[in-house]
Amino acid sequence: MSKKETYSINLAILLCLVVGVYIFTNPSKPHIPLLSPETKPLKFGFDLGDNYFDTYKLASDQNLGDLLLWQGISWDSIIKLDKLSTDIFSIRKFRANKPFTVIRKDSCSSPHCIVYEPNKYTYVKYHIDTLDIAVVEQQYETCIETAAGLISSSLWLAMKDAGLAGNIIDKMEDAMASSVDFHHTQKGDMFKLVFERRYMDGKPIGYGEVISAAFKNDSGEHFSVFYENDKYAGFYDLEGRPTKSTFLRAPLKYSRISSRYNPRRFHPIKKRRIPHLGTDYAAAIGTPIYAVADGVIEIAGYSKNNGKYVKIRHNDIYQTQYLHMHRFAKNIRKGVRVKQGQVIGQVGQTGLATGPHVCFRFWKYGRQVNHLKENFPPKNPLPKDQLPDFYVQRDSLLKVLEAVPYPEVETPLYSSLEK
Ligand SMILES: [Zn+2]
C-alpha cells in the first residue's frame, strides 16, 4: 500500500464507514456495491441470453480428453488445443474439483468455447473454432468494512457471529500476535476490526487485508494499525512497535491441534510415560506447511520416526522442525534461506504417524520447548525519524477504528424462576 493509496483508502474508509456500521448492526444483509450500468447481462464475456452454459467439475479419476470428446469436441480440436495452450494456460493444468464451463450456441450444437476457472479471480477461455486462448483477470472491488464482537465462548465463534470467517481471523491474530495471547481469550473480551472485503458482481468473494484492529481484555485495550512507507511495512502498536510476532503461531492455517506439547504424556496403549515434545496439527494430506519465521534450512531429510522432515535454524537461539511431510516444496533443501510464511512442504503421514498431521517442534538453545508458552523478545520500534509520518497515518486509522462501537456487554438478568 503506497502513500497515495493510503490517502485514497482513507477516503474509501469515510465512504464505506456507513456501510461498515450497517454490517455491524445487521450482519445478515450483504453490502451491495454500485455497479456500472450494463446493457446486457454477460457471462465470461458471452451474452447470457444467446448461449448455453454447462458447468462441470472434473473428478479426480476422470480424463479431460474423454470428457471433452463426450461434450462433442473433436479429437482433432482437443489435440490442437492441448498444443496451443501449453504456453498460455495448458489444458493439462485443469485440476479436479475446479469448475469449467462448456458454452454452446444452442442446446444441441457442439461447444464453441470452454472456460476454466483456476481461482476466484481468473478464468481462461478456450475458443474451439478459432483456437484463441485468453486468460482473463476478473475485476473485483475492494471495500473497507468494520466489525466488532464480544467473546462469549471463543474468538472464532465471536468472529463468526460478527459475520467474519476464515483467513481474516488468522490475519487479525497475526497482526496482534505480540500484544494479545489469543490462546487464552476470556469471556467478555472484545475486538474491533477494520478490514478489506472483496466483491465481484455485488457478491462478497473473500477478504483482503486487515487495516487496523483493537482488542480489549482485562489487561487493557491493545491496538494494531497497518503502516507502510518506502522502507517499512507492517502492523504496529500506538508507539510504533511491531505487533506481529517474530514467529507464526502455527505452521498451518485453519488447523486444529490434535495433540499438545506434554513432557509427561501417559501413553494410552503402551501404558507408560512417553513425552510428546511437539505440537501436532491435524490436516488433510497435501495441506501447505509454512516456515514460522525467516531462517536457513538445516535439514530436509528422512528418518524412520520423523518421516520426511525439515529443520530450520532461525537464529542463535531458535530452530523449528516439521515432521511427517508428504513432500517438500520446490527448492527446499539444506542451506536454502526461507522467509516467514513461505511454503516448505505438504502435510503427510510419513514415518511414525497414525494419521495425516504435522508434528511441529520448537527448539530453544538446542532443547525442545512448548512454543505456545514462549514469550518472544519484543521487536525494535520504528526509528525516531519515521515516527512523525507514522503518527499521521496511525491517527487517521484510529479515527475510523474509534468510530466503531464495541458490542454492549449484556447485563446479567436475575432468574425469574426463583420468584
Ligand atoms: Zn507430535
Residue 138: all three cell numbers together: 476478473
Q: pLDDT tens, 214-225?
A: 999 988 999 999
Give the pLDDT of residue 64. Answer: 84
Q: What is the DSSP string of 358-389?
A: EEEEEEETTEEE-GGG--PPPPPPPPGGGHHH
Ligand 1 centroid to residue 377 C-alpha, Å: 26
Ligand 1 centroid to residue 362 C-alpha, Å: 11
Decide if pLDDT at 244 tops 80: no
Ligand 1 centroid to residue 359 C-alpha, Å: 4
Tell me the CATH number of domain 256-373, given options 3.40.50.150, 3.30.70.2860, 2.70.70.10, 3.40.50.2020.
2.70.70.10
Q: pLDDT tens, 95-151?
A: 888 899 999 998 888 899 999 999 888 999 999 989 899 999 888 899 999 999 888
Tell me 286's DSSP state.
T
Length in residues, the chain: 419
Q: pLDDT tens, 274-291?
A: 888 999 998 889 999 999
Give the pLDDT of residue 163. Answer: 81
Ligand 1 centroid to residue 360 C-alpha, Å: 7
Ligand 1 centroid to residue 270 C-alpha, Å: 16
Best-predicted range by mean pLDDT among 60-74, 383-397, 402-416?
A: 383-397
- Say how far apart CA 200 and CA 178 lie, in whole Å: 34
Give residue 29's pLDDT band: very low, low, confident or very high (50, 70, 90). very low
Is the pLDDT higher at 299 or at 40? 299
- Between helix 387-403 and helix 3-25 the angle, nearest 10°, is 20
- Say how far apart CA 400 and CA 402 lie, in whole Å: 5
Give the pLDDT of residue 323. Answer: 97
Ligand 1 centroid to residue 44 C-alpha, Å: 47
Give residue 254's pLDDT band: very low, low, confident or very high (50, 70, 90). low
Q: How many CB atoms lie within 10 A of CB 142?
A: 16
Residue 136 burial (10 A CB sphere; 0-12, 13-18, 19+): middle
Give the pLDDT of residue 186. Answer: 86
Ligand 1 centroid to residue 178 C-alpha, Å: 25
Calculate what percentage of the chain has a pLDDT beyond 90.
Answer: 44
Asked if 324 and 357 count as a contact pair (C-beta separation under 8 A), the reply is: yes
Decide if pLDDT at 271 tops 80: no
Ligand 1 centroid to residue 280 C-alpha, Å: 5
Domain spans of the chain? 42-137, 256-373
Ligand 1 centroid to residue 267 C-alpha, Å: 13
Tell me the CATH number of domain 42-137, given options 1.20.1300.10, 3.40.920.10, 3.30.1360.70, 3.10.450.350.
3.10.450.350
Decide if pLDDT at 396 tops 90: yes
Decide if pLDDT at 320 tops 90: yes
Ligand 1 centroid to residue 353 C-alpha, Å: 8
Q: Return mean pLDDT, the chain.
A: 83
